[in-house]
């Protein structure tokens, strides 16, 4: 009885009809177009996104024992999930000069620039290095970055020369001696053996192996730190300011 109630339409296949077999998709590298501003050389162009705070709430509480004083305890921030970059006129801001120089290095060398420290909030800055000399770090303002270049880790001097050549080749600095000519900074008590370099806009520090090993720089390579001295937009010196350091986006 059940069989009798069945109804439907038969499906016929034409004589020469066959199934199509699908080929597996082939992976191919993304083409690099000269007009595509997402790339600097073969690597993605560095943007302010690369500078977000490296704090991690899973990091354990850190003790800082001080001679003759009570022990202090620090915890890390929530990182880029907890807060954003410094704010300028309501927008997230990193000094564009840093972004430009790092892209220039990436284009000229053809190797990836690895930013180990970009912006740091106060919580992460204290967690990385609680010593008072670090309290006024320009990382808090988005005016400092530490980095090395992949495959060129052991030759940081070449990268310093490249930064200097940026000011000698890129307009509007080309031809302006205040930018083109870098002086050396000789002073006792610096935490680096190489005297730093500076011009009107930036200050360059070269940290060798064993120097400047705060928590963000626990790798074994020498690295370079660039600090802003002058704001290109306003022409004013970039100095640490407690109020400015607390102006960053909080989620």
Q: Does 204 bind Zn ion (CB under 5 A)?
A: no
Site string for Zn ion, 105-144 (x = CB under 5 A): ----------------x--x--------------------
Residue recorded with tokens 């972004």:
99
Q: Which stretch binds Zn ion (CB under 5 A): 16-24, 51-59, 86-94, 95-103?
A: 51-59
Number of Cβ within a 10 Å radius of residue 145: 27
Segment near Zn ion (CB under 5 A), from 8-16, 54-62, 92-100, 185-193? 54-62
Rounded-to-integer distance, Cα 108 and Cα 105, Å: 5
Q: What would the two tokens of residue 200 be?
A: 């009107």
State the Cα–Cα distance between residues 160 and 3, nearest whole angstrom.
86
What's the closest the beta carbon of residue 248 comes to Zn ion, in angstroms? 8
What string marks each residue from 69 to 108 as x (binds Zn ion by CB under 5 A) or -?
A: --------x-------------------------------
Element (H, E) at 148: strand 144-149
DSSP string for 84-130: EEEEETTEE---HHHHHHHHHHHHHH-S-EEEEE----HHHHHHH--
Q: Which of 55, 84, 196, 212 binds Zn ion (CB under 5 A)?
A: 55
Is 245 near Zn ion (CB under 5 A)?
Answer: no
Binding site for Zn ion (CB under 5 A): 53, 55, 77, 121, 124
């Amino acid at each position: 009885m059940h069989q009798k109630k069945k109804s439907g339409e038969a499906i016929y296949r034409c004589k020469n009809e066959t199934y199509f077999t699908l080929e597996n998709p082939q992976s191919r590298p993304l083409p690099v177009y000269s007009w595509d501003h997402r790339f600097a050389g073969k690597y993605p162009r560095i943007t302010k996104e690369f500078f977000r705070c490296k704090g991690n709430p899973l990091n354990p509480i850190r003790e800082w024992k001080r001679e003759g004083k009570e022990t202090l305890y620090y915890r890390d921030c929530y990182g880029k999930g907890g807060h954003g970059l410094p704010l300028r006129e309501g927008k997230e801001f990193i000094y564009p000069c840093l972004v430009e120089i790092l892209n220039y290095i990436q284009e000229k060398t053809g190797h990836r620039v690895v930013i180990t420290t970009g912006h740091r909030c106060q919580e992460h800055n204290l967690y990385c290095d609680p010593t008072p000399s670090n309290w006024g770090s320009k990382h808090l303002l988005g005016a400092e970055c530490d980095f090395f270049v992949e495959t060129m880790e052991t030759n940081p001097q070449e990268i310093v020369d490249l930064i200097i050549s940026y000011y000698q080749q890129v307009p509007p600095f080309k031809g302006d001696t205040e930018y083109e000519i870098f002086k050396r900074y000789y002073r006792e008590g610096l935490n680096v053996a190489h005297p730093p370099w500076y011009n009107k806009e930036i200050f360059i520090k070269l940290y060798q192996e064993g120097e400047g090993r705060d928590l963000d720089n626990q790798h074994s390579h020498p690295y370079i730190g660039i600090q802003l001295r002058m704001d290109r937009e306003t022409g004013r010196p970039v100095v640490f300011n407690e109020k400015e350091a607390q102006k960053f986006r909080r989620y």
